Structure 1
């Protein structure tokens, strides 16, 4: 069973040459552990209670005691202060000051027997009073039954708190019924609150809001305007000269040719521009799909490389059915690179972790797949299709212009051959320059307007995807829920181990846990809270009168499932040495050597490859992790066995009973 905090350890493990790394690591700023000396006592109490909920009793004691000392003296505060003082501790470790505080708490509760919190404190006192204080003392079944009845009259939440935090004290006569209740609660709560659908969200970073993509600016220059205006002026001057000579030669006939030529020219230019614009739009759409633009560097190569990995991963995951991954990546190389460059350019000025943009890359990959399946990605855009009527008008107008233009020019040549010939050259040159210039200007303006519409539509789609993702993450579990689920997993492992070895609760003298993240797992924590991992390596030690049962198992925390188990059973005299090294950087190294097994070295709470320099928040998190682990208790047990063998258990039992007498005497004062 793992109800007490002595079974919780958040550690890095390096077995042999193994390297510990993480797929992702996040610190959620929005958490319940931020508190300062200037905060009111009720805030200090609530934060202390949060720490107690995740079984970090040292920090909980510190904050709850501060709150009570500053005047937050309520039955609820005293109840949790009593639990914080006792949680995860041996009675030998209680100081005289802490014993005096427990006595004060019990006196407070005795005077308020009707208060539900005070009743909880009284039950704690009754449980401690009923424990045998000498090896010769035999538990009174009637007294045990009265205590059980009193305990079961409490609110279920208070019962659960007492069971979780007083496990060290609930051995002996209480062990059978407390463990039965604990295991039942663990089975009930292990998958409660939709764990399977929520745990993964804890390891997701806070997404970055989408930013609007500025469209490429207008790329027209002075040369385009010079061609357009200069060509138009030349066309106007020389055209008027030709028209003047034609009208002078034959006014009625030339006027008819002129009207026909002007009308045909207007229709030809308008229809021709519509056709050219459609062709331009098709070319731009195809270019975006197939053309691979030059890679845009990011502010740091690390960010750019991370974005490349995200695009390769998600485009390789969102594949159209029946299409090979290599084929899909080749087909979408252009659009993938364009989107990658777009995001790098947008966020290059910000210190953004690329993983916080993973939701956006995932959306873009799925959207490209959707466009591909619907045909929108490979077919021409709707605004690039030219109606048949436009083609018919263009052909008819061009035919009319070819007929009317030379006839009008002939009338002018008859009147003034040399001047008309010179003017005709000017008409052709001016028309060409004007068409080139105005086409470039108008096509670019239409391109800019199309891009404005496209980026606005894309931004709206991305905002909608962001809102969907944020809503999906709203049900992210709290740190307390993560701690409770992990505690349930440990308890289930203990129960399964007891069943395998056919042991009863009273057969277990002591038990301890060591936990380690599996290399390559995801990890996250709330600010100033302990690290949580997606996969754990659990080591369970069950100490019985016959020896030690050691179980090693991998826990898939997201799926709430155990992997293959390794079991090792050995006598106490098989433990040759337990060597512990405390480094200045907070790293602990435990080496456990057995007579029939090579030395097993564990690196606890140490650094991993690529770990950044620890800041204040990281140091607090490390301290809280060790506090929540109860690692000192585990090491105390292993070192004691290595030093004294089975005799250590006997001596420890005597020391505990002596401490219990001291505790009960203090609480009765």
Structure 2
């Protein structure tokens, strides 16, 4: 659905030395307006039509003309070319070439009168024909009735397209019924298609998919292997020598002691490892929760700072009920820092926007809260629980070893005292080296396996969260919907202002808009499309024969709510000067000075203070934003008032009537 063009401005407004800043910005590649000269004419036409629907007629005219010139010739293309030529224009600004194109379009439509698009062109021609071409001319009610009937015979989409793009029909004899239709449609469509539930999604960046976290590699070296193998060999040789000496003294008793001791050693080694591994797993879990590691080094301080802000924001938001925020942050300091470092290592590329990872930070914060509430966060890991039977077996085996070990050593000592002492030292030293070596090797192996399981589970959970977020963003509004909703907001403001001042549609000679982003708002756009903002500052100028009504109001675009309103009424002769700067880069600035408030100066700019150097896509977006804003129309009105005062109304009517006569004459062939 199209939006009324000439009163929209996506430009900054700053009073004095004010600065405009943005909380977030996003450029959506998908759904953009990319087109090239090599694309087929059908594609050029469709992109041109999309530009027209967002009220960027300059780009629309160029693309639709190219498509027609390359062979895309039909009544649908002619209809939208006519709208693009007239959209947001004053009649006096039409060139002879454009008048010739309109004449050709109307002649072609006359030959296809049954085609719905051709009927739309004929209705546009009839509406133009019915407009008074001189100040003294009086409209014929019967002729107007015929035109209205012809217009109402069109399909609703064609009616809305004509009303939204041809501002000239909001004046003259058709003013009452066109404004009534326009306001009714704005009331109907302003919150249509679940606007409040969907608008916020337009400002969300495309999320980056989750990435697998590589677990720390196994950290064992040659020294650990030498300790394990050398200690085991020493322990085995020394133990065999003790057994040999004891066997030589009394083989029968030694056999009994040896059998019990060997069994006890095997049980102690097995159950002791299980118990120690469980303790190690509990220690690791607690370290992750309570230990605050050093900040991970990063290649991008900006990215690291943004990640800090995201973690702080979402952990402050997702906290257990009835728990102080500072206490919660202290409780989760360790795990929060670990997760922060983990994500910085995963997404540390310079080109990555931290906002694209915000969904993951939000999920992690909510997941930590969930695990804390369920007790899982502080509970021992499942694989760290040791059965009581294992502990009993360990205690029994230790007792058996304590009893039989000394008896076996005594048997050997009686047979060979010195040799037994040396062998015993070897047993103790070998056991110590073997335990240290095998502890490092086996524990590290199990740690790596545990990390693999944890990493895979975390990755699956994050993939599920990512899929849920992507599905939620699938209903993100299109740029055309954003443009139409904003246009509806504008029209509602016009209607409310008319009611406040108790004005009728016929009391309004002209109206103009300036729209600017509020400081700190979110902003986003599709590729090569105009910027859209989450909060606007709207300035409405209503021109009547008695003077100018200027209304300033803030708009929360996500909730559709209007904020505080300021109203200013002044005579035409109160406008002292309108200073316009038209820069080569597309930037436009206006300073409007009034006699009753000389400090009330308005600055309009197509860019914002301190913005970085523009790329090609940014330049196109800036030009389209100014085109879609209808700023040219607004400047035309304000400059005319500043130069001519109240006489501007008379002069403008004369100029428009002359332009209308040229247009009607051309379209009649």
Q: TM-score range by the shorter chain?
A: over 0.9
Do residues 272 (structure 1) and 272 (structure 2) align?
Answer: yes
Alignment partner, residue 444 of structure 1: 444
TM-aligned CA deviation for residue 609 of structure 1: 4.4
Query: Is residue 606–residue 622 contact of structure 2 (8 Å, CA) maintained in 1?
Result: no
Q: 1:172 & 1:600 partners in 2: Cα distance?
A: 33
Q: 1:624 & 1:10 partners in 2: Cα distance?
A: 10
For 1:22-69, what per-residue CA distance to the aligned partner results, in whole angstroms no more than 9, with x for missing partners?
A: 001111111241111111111110000000000000110010011111
For 1:551-603, what per-residue CA distance to the aligned partner results, in whole angstroms no more than 9, with x for missing partners?
A: 00000000011001000111111111111122334322211111111333333
Do residues 533 (structure 1) and 533 (structure 2) align?
Answer: yes
Query: Is residue 4–residue 168 contact of structure 1 (8 Å, CA) maintained in 2?
Result: no
1:353-432 equivalences in 2 (<5 Å): 353-432=353-432
Query: Is residue 549–residue 570 contact of structure 1 (8 Å, CA) maintained in 2?
Result: yes
Alignment partner, residue 297 of structure 2: 297
1:178-193 equivalences in 2 (<5 Å): 178-193=178-193
Q: 1:582 & 1:626 partners in 2: Cα distance?
A: 12
Alignment partner, residue 231 of structure 2: 231
Query: Is residue 592–residue 599 contact of structure 1 (8 Å, CA) maintained in 2?
Result: no
Q: 2:32 & 2:121 partners in 1: Cα distance?
A: 26
For 1:339-396, what per-residue CA distance to the aligned partner results, in whole angstroms no more than 9, with x for missing partners?
A: 1111111122452011111111111111111111111111111111111111111111
Do residues 91 (structure 1) and 95 (structure 2) align?
Answer: no
Query: Is residue 32–residue 50 contact of structure 1 (8 Å, CA) maintained in 2?
Result: no
Query: Is residue 29–residue 527 contact of structure 1 (8 Å, CA) maintained in 2?
Result: yes
Alignment partner, residue 43 of structure 1: 43
Query: Is residue 605–residue 622 contact of structure 1 (8 Å, CA) maintained in 2?
Result: no
Q: 1:101 & 1:43 partners in 2: Cα distance?
A: 22
Do residues 478 (structure 1) and 478 (structure 2) align?
Answer: yes
Query: Is residue 591–residue 599 contact of structure 1 (8 Å, CA) maintained in 2?
Result: no
Alignment partner, residue 661 of structure 1: 661
Q: 1:4 & 1:158 partners in 2: Cα distance?
A: 14
Q: Which secondary structure state, in structure 1, belongs to the residue aligned with residue 524 of structure 2?
A: strand
Q: 1:216 & 1:281 partners in 2: Cα distance?
A: 15
For 1:146-192, what per-residue CA distance to the aligned partner results, in whole angstroms no more than 9, with x for missing partners?
A: 11111111110000000001122441100100000000000000000
RMSD: 1.1
1:46-57 equivalences in 2 (<5 Å): 46-57=46-57
Q: Which secondary structure state, in structure 2, belongs to the residue aligned with residue 292 of structure 1?
A: coil
Do residues 101 (structure 1) and 101 (structure 2) align?
Answer: yes
Q: 2:46 & 2:149 partners in 1: Cα distance?
A: 30
Alignment partner, residue 562 of structure 1: 562
Query: Is residue 536–residue 557 contact of structure 2 (8 Å, CA) maintained in 1?
Result: yes
Q: 2:239 & 2:350 partners in 1: Cα distance?
A: 58
Structure 1: segments with no counterpart, 5+ residues: none
Q: 1:181 & 1:454 partners in 2: Cα distance?
A: 61
Q: 2:529 & 2:606 partners in 1: Cα distance?
A: 17
TM-aligned CA deviation for residue 479 of structure 1: 0.3
TM-aligned CA deviation for residue 606 of structure 1: 4.6
Q: 2:329 & 2:350 partners in 1: Cα distance?
A: 29
Structure 2: segments with no counterpart, 5+ residues: none
Q: 2:259 & 2:609 partners in 1: Cα distance?
A: 82
Alignment partner, residue 496 of structure 1: 496
**Matched residue count:** 668
Q: 1:4 & 1:384 partners in 2: Cα distance?
A: 67
Q: 2:265 & 2:279 partners in 1: Cα distance?
A: 21
Do residues 548 (structure 1) and 548 (structure 2) align?
Answer: yes
TM-aligned CA deviation for residue 608 of structure 1: 3.0
TM-aligned CA deviation for residue 87 of structure 1: 0.5
Alignment partner, residue 168 of structure 2: 168
Query: Is residue 3–residue 167 contact of structure 1 (8 Å, CA) maintained in 2?
Result: no
1:492-531 equivalences in 2 (<5 Å): 492-531=492-531
Alignment partner, residue 314 of structure 2: 314
Using structure 2 for the length normalisation, give the TM-score. Answer: 0.98
Query: Is residue 509–residue 545 contact of structure 2 (8 Å, CA) maintained in 1?
Result: yes
Alignment partner, residue 13 of structure 1: 13
Q: 1:32 & 1:21 partners in 2: Cα distance?
A: 25
1:147-226 equivalences in 2 (<5 Å): 147-226=147-226
Alignment partner, residue 577 of structure 1: 577
Q: 2:442 & 2:198 partners in 1: Cα distance?
A: 53
Query: Is residue 10–residue 606 contact of structure 2 (8 Å, CA) maintained in 1?
Result: no
Q: 1:430 & 1:609 partners in 2: Cα distance?
A: 74
Do residues 110 (structure 1) and 103 (structure 2) align?
Answer: no
TM-aligned CA deviation for residue 251 of structure 1: 1.2
Q: 2:449 & 2:600 partners in 1: Cα distance?
A: 68
Query: Is residue 514–residue 540 contact of structure 2 (8 Å, CA) maintained in 1?
Result: yes
For 1:198-240, what per-residue CA distance to the aligned partner results, in whole angstroms no more than 9, with x for missing partners?
A: 1000000111111100001111122211111111000110100
TM-aligned CA deviation for residue 611 of structure 1: 1.6
Q: 1:509 & 1:287 partners in 2: Cα distance?
A: 73
TM-aligned CA deviation for residue 610 of structure 1: 4.2
Q: 1:497 & 1:235 partners in 2: Cα distance?
A: 96
Query: Is residue 3–residue 53 contact of structure 2 (8 Å, CA) maintained in 1?
Result: no
For 1:59-93, what per-residue CA distance to the aligned partner results, in whole angstroms no more than 9, with x for missing partners?
A: 10010011111111011100100100110101100
Q: 2:151 & 2:170 partners in 1: Cα distance?
A: 12
Q: 1:642 & 1:524 partners in 2: Cα distance?
A: 35
Q: 2:601 & 2:522 partners in 1: Cα distance?
A: 23
Q: 1:3 & 1:445 partners in 2: Cα distance?
A: 65
Q: 1:152 & 1:582 partners in 2: Cα distance?
A: 41
TM-aligned CA deviation for residue 3 of structure 1: 6.2
Query: Is residue 235–residue 426 contact of structure 1 (8 Å, CA) maintained in 2?
Result: yes
Q: 2:620 & 2:607 partners in 1: Cα distance?
A: 15
Q: 1:611 & 1:386 partners in 2: Cα distance?
A: 61
Q: Which secondary structure state, in structure 1, belongs to the residue aligned with residue 394 of structure 2?
A: helix
Q: Which secondary structure state, in structure 2, belongs to the residue aligned with residue 555 of structure 1?
A: strand
Query: Is residue 290–residue 335 contact of structure 1 (8 Å, CA) maintained in 2?
Result: yes
Using structure 1 for the length normalisation, give the TM-score. Answer: 0.98
